[in-house]
Structure 1
Amino acid sequence: MQEKTAGGTPAAPLKLDVSVRVIEPVKNLMGFASVKFNDCFVVENLKIVQGSKGLFLGMPSQPDGKGGYRDMAYPVTKEFREQLNTAVLQAYEVKLEQMAERGSAERASISEQLKAGKAAAEQAKAERPPKEKPSRSAER
């Protein structure tokens, strides 16, 4: 995206640092994002929403007093909206992949721990001397 400044010179491209928080879906809300622009300005509570055409980015908003909501921050140009949407949705996909990898690694780790625990229990059982049955005279 090459916007032009008031003087007509191309503006420097924006550096976007995106952090994503995946949530248990609530209706069509899938998560939240925070975006830092050029290490200078942060916008939080961008919503990651599942729509009929796929995922999209919802802007931070507040009630407008008329039963609806008003966006409090939003892209001015179509090009920047696309850049922002792409950056956040890519970060969301990466986060989902990391969670899936961590989940499979945890499942593998738990499985390995269970196997090791069973093997240790069997080994301890094999090494334990057999229990002696008390004699009848010892019972009295």
Structure 2
Amino acid sequence: MLITEVRVKLVSGPKSRRGKLKAFCSVTFDDEFVVRDLKVIEGAQGLFIAMPSRKRMARCHNCSHKNTVLSRYCNDCGKRLPIGEYQEDSRRIYADIAHPIHAASRDKIHDKVVQAYHREVAASKEAGYIPQAYDDIDLDLVSPDRVGLRRERKQSRHRFPADLPGRQPPEEPKREIGASG
């Protein structure tokens, strides 16, 4: 098994500076097989490479619809789901989709991904840094200018109507001094 390419997408934003998730990666094996969504995570003992995973599912006893393990109600029929042994073992919420079978393979993947991660971090600190192309399979339907618009709307919800642009506060009724009213 030869790792022919590792692509790294650094996690950006204020949460990445404090958070444990540092990057997403895709690894190509023998120029023929790609595994996406590996995660570079800062752990207590250094960087850890998490394999792609998904939430485990359990079927509803009423309609047989698959629901995530810790769901309380069925997403299809709305019935309350019984608390079973799969919910008691809450450590096993996620299952790896792809993973190395041998420790030697895991070490090889870990070393290559960590090297690529450090190269990308070093490159990101240089002037004029442009992130490498990362083939993300998720759709990002929100354009950057719409993100700013959403932020403005959120902030405007916390203003008084008089503070909003284009709005004038209602005029106070004029009272004459000494008039009863």
- TM superposition score category, shorter chain reference: 0.5 to 0.7
TM-score under structure 2 normalisation?
Answer: 0.48
Amino acid at match of 1:70: A
1:1-140 pair list within 5 angstroms: 13-24=1-12, 25=16, 27-65=19-57, 66-67=69-70, 68-102=93-127
Please give the alpha-carbon distance, in whole angstroms, between the structure 2 residues aligned to 1:99 and 1:41.
27
The higher-RCO structure (CA 8 Å, 6+ apart) is 2
Please give the alpha-carbon distance, in whole angstroms, between the structure 1 residues aligned to 2:30 and 2:127.
30
Equivalent pairs, count: 92
Q: Secondary structure at the match of 1:101?
A: coil
- Contact 2:3/2:27 (8 A) holds in 1: no
TM-score under structure 1 normalisation?
Answer: 0.61
Gaps of 5+ in 1: 1-12, 105-140
Please state how far the C-alpha of 1:39 moved relative to its aligned partner: 0.6
Relative to its length, the structure with more strand (as a share) is: 1
Please give the alpha-carbon distance, in whole angstroms, between the structure 1 residues aligned to 2:50 and 2:109.
11
Write out per-residue CA displacement over residues 48-90 of structure 1, whole angstroms, 9 at most, x where no aligned residue. 1010001110000000133410000001100010000000010
Say what the alpha-carbon RMSD is for the aligned residues: 1.7
Please give the alpha-carbon distance, in whole angstroms, between the structure 2 residues aligned to 1:35 and 1:72.
14
Larger radius of gyration: 1
Amino acid at match of 1:84: I
Please state how far the C-alpha of 1:103 moved relative to its aligned partner: 6.0
Please give the alpha-carbon distance, in whole angstroms, between the structure 2 residues aligned to 1:69 and 1:40.
27
- Contact 1:61/1:71 (8 A) holds in 2: yes
Relative to its length, the structure with more helix (as a share) is: 1
Amino acid at match of 2:10: V
